[in-house]
Structure 1
Amino acid sequence: MNNRYLKARTLARAKHKDQMYGAVPYYIHLDAVSRLASPFGTDAMIVAQLHDVIEDTPTSIDELAADFGYLVADAVGYMSDGKLEDRAARKADINFRLGALDVDEEAARIALIVKACDRLANVRASSKSTEKYFHLYQQEHPDFKQAVYRKGLCEAIWWELDNLLKYSEAS
């Protein structure tokens, strides 16, 4: 394994150490997202490990940039939810920001890939345990896909996501 990846995994586990993902430690989710991101390279795997540290811990973008460079810090920043309390408003805000990203920028490309991987990991987990969240992801999927999907970027991720959520353009 790459030393930068191991450093990111270690930092993410330390930052999220007391957090849970349902009934399991939070790192289970981070590892699942990282596995899904692995075909897209080490930077995608690093961003997958770190994708929630800005919104869920007192970590700053500057701290990530110092440890992992601006590519990783920018990608994590792009996909971090704002601090809005209302989920619908928070998702509308992030979808607006993600929809404006240009895949010609490497950090934006990685952010869009990892965001799709994160959603797939969440849908997989919720389909096995939390029906409430699974239905929420189904309801959010059209807006999420409109904001995050880019043709040719990570088609296999989207294929599984669409099929798990039984989503089609006609629905």
Structure 2
Amino acid sequence: MNNRYLKACTLARAKHKGQMYGDLPYYVHLEAVSRLASPFGTNAMIVAQLHDVMEDTGTGINELISDFGFVVADAVKYISDSQLPDRKARKEEINGRLSVLSPDEESARIALIVKACDRLANVRASLSCKENYYEQYQMEHADFRKAVYRQGLCEAIWWELDNLLRHSEAS
């Protein structure tokens, strides 16, 4: 395994210590996102490990730049939710930010991939969790897809995500 990736795993576990993802330690979610991001390279896996560290732990951009460089830090920043008070406002803000990213920029490309992987991991988890986040993801899907999807970028992730959410529409 790559030392930078192991460093990201260690940092993410330390920063998210005590946080839960449903009934599981938070790192379980980070590992799921990282596995989905693995076909897209080490930087994508690193960003997957760190994707919630700025919004959930107060970790600053300078710490990420120092430890992982500008590409990773910028990608994490792109996909970090703002601190707006309600989910709808946060999602509108981040969707607006993500909708203008160009996959020609490496940080933006990685951010778009990891954001899709994160959503797929969340949708998969919501299918077996007692909280009913699945319907929330379904309601948000059209706006999320419009903001994050780029043709030719992580098509297999989008295929599964679209199919999981479409399946629920038929139920």
Which of the five TM-score ranges fits, normalised by the shorter chain?
Answer: over 0.9
2: CA distance, partners of 1:131 / 1:90: 20
1:145 is displaced (CA, Å) by 0.1
Which residue pairs with 2:77 in the alignment? 77
**Which segments of structure 1 move beyond 2 Å, counting only runs of 4 or more?**
none
2: CA distance, partners of 1:56 / 1:143: 23
Which residue pairs with 1:8 in the alignment? 8
Match status 1:101 vs 2:73? no
Match status 1:40 vs 2:28? no
The SS at the match of 1:18 is: coil
| TM-score, normalised via structure 2 length | 0.96
Alpha carbons of structure 1 residues 130 and 137: separation in structure 2 relative to 1, 3 Å:
farther
1:34 is displaced (CA, Å) by 0.1
1:130 is displaced (CA, Å) by 3.7
Give per-residue Cα distances to partners, 1:23-78, cap 9 Å, x unaligned.
00000000000000000000000000000000000200110000000000000000
2: CA distance, partners of 1:75 / 1:36: 16
Which residue pairs with 1:146 in the alignment? 146
2: CA distance, partners of 1:130 / 1:94: 27
The SS at the match of 2:133 is: helix
The SS at the match of 1:128 is: coil
Which residue pairs with 1:117 in the alignment? 117
The SS at the match of 1:165 is: helix
2: CA distance, partners of 1:130 / 1:136: 14
Which residue pairs with 2:159 in the alignment? 159
1:131 is displaced (CA, Å) by 5.3
2: CA distance, partners of 1:135 / 1:146: 18
2: CA distance, partners of 1:15 / 1:124: 24
2: CA distance, partners of 1:86 / 1:125: 22
The SS at the match of 1:102 is: coil
The SS at the match of 2:118 is: helix
Which residue pairs with 2:24 in the alignment? 24
Task: Determine what percentage of the aligned residue pairs are the same residue.
Answer: 74
Q: Structure 2: which 5+ residue stretches go unaligned? A: none
- Could you tell me which amino acid in structure 2 is paired with residue 115 of structure 1? K
